């Protein structure tokens, strides 16, 4: 269990465990010397944290965004894992491969898309991961515990820019924001803005690991 704002581990720290998220939202991030922060990834139930091969030193920090439950898997030797639990090894490969695809899509977005495109991309990707993979319609409202500053740090922008563009999207009736929920109203047009091709919709589920 982690409270919101609590860290699972810090960049540079030794972290050999291998966890999966059972419940809650977390994010991994890096801090720079001048205080800038880049959020690397959002972690939802079913995602893995850490490496099964046990990286000596964490390359990023991980923090809980909402109260979160994690399952720490017993640390086996690699060989044990692969030979005694081959289905676990397969699932690990799948999950980490999904994360890699997603990460590379983010590289493309950060490298070559405008602020407007990045934000559209972010919204659609989030809906895909949360709604579509759980069988809900894309337009279903999703919880939004991220502040605008979090979104900015995720997309390599500033909170001011995020605020302005979310405002635009709202007046263009592309999205609706109420309380801490976000709803996509016009996925087609959002997809057109950012050239989203609905490929990136694979996600994980927590049940698979239990």
Partner DNA sequence: CGAAGAGTTGATCCAAGTCAAACGTTGTGG
Partner DNA sequence: CCACAACGTTTGACTTGGATCAACTCTTCG
Handedness of CA 98, 99, 103, 109 (dihedral sign): positive
Torsion of CA 69, 150, 119, 30, to 10 degrees: -80
Size of the site for a second copy (CB under 8 A): 51
Nearest-angstrom CA–CA distance, 58 and 36? 19
Taken as a whole, the chain contains a residue count of: 210
Nearest-angstrom CA–CA distance, 27 and 70? 13
- Supply the minimum distance, in Å, between the C-beta of residue 14 and a second copy: 12
Q: Of 156-195, which residues contact a second copy (CB under 8 A)?
A: 156, 195
Residue 33 interacting with DNA (CB under 7 A):
no
Mark the segment that binds DNA (CB under 7 A) among 51-59, 65-73, 96-104, 163-171: 163-171
Nearest-angstrom CA–CA distance, 179 and 80? 48
Mark the segment that binds DNA (CB under 7 A) among 99-107, 127-135, 152-160, 199-207: 152-160
Mark the segment that binds a second copy (CB under 8 A) among 24-32, 140-148, 161-169, 174-182: 24-32
* Tokens describing residue 193: 């803005």
SS3 113: coil
| Beta-carbon-side half-sphere exposure of residue 4 (alpha carbons within 13 Å) | 7
Residue 107 interacting with a second copy (CB under 8 A):
yes
Q: Give the binding site for a second copy (CB under 8 A).
A: 12, 28, 30, 32-33, 36-38, 40-41, 51-53, 55, 57, 59-60, 78-79, 81-83, 86-87, 89-90, 92-94, 96-97, 99-101, 103-108, 110-113, 153, 155-156, 195, 197, 199-200
Q: Give the binding site for DNA (CB under 7 A).
A: 114-116, 147-149, 152, 156-161, 163-164, 166-167, 179
């Amino acid at each position: 269990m982690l409270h919101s704002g609590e860290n699972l581990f810090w960049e540079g720290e030794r972290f050999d465990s291998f966890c999966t998220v059972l419940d809650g939202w977390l994010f991994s991030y890096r801090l720079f010397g001048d205080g800038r922060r880049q959020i690397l990834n959002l972690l939802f139930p079913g995602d893995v944290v850490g490496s099964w091969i046990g990286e000596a030193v964490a390359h990023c920090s991980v923090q809980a965004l909402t109260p979160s439950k994690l399952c720490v898997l017993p640390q086996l030797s690699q060989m044990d894992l692969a030979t005694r639990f081959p289905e676990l090894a397969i699932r690990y490969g799948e999950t980490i491969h999904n994360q890699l695809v997603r990460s590379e899509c983010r590289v493309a977005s950060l490298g070559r898309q405008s602020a407007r495109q990045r934000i559209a991309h972010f919204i659609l990707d989030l809906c895909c991961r949360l709604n579509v993979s759980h069988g809900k319609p894309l337009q279903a409202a999703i919880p939004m515990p991220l502040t605008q500053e979090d979104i900015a740090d995720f997309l390599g922008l500033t909170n001011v820019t995020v605020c302005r563009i979310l405002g635009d999207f709202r007046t263009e009736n592309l999205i609706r924001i109420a309380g801490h929920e976000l709803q996509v109203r016009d996925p087609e047009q959002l997809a057109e803005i950012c050239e989203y091709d609905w490929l990136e919709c694979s996600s994980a589920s927590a049940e698979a690991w239990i």
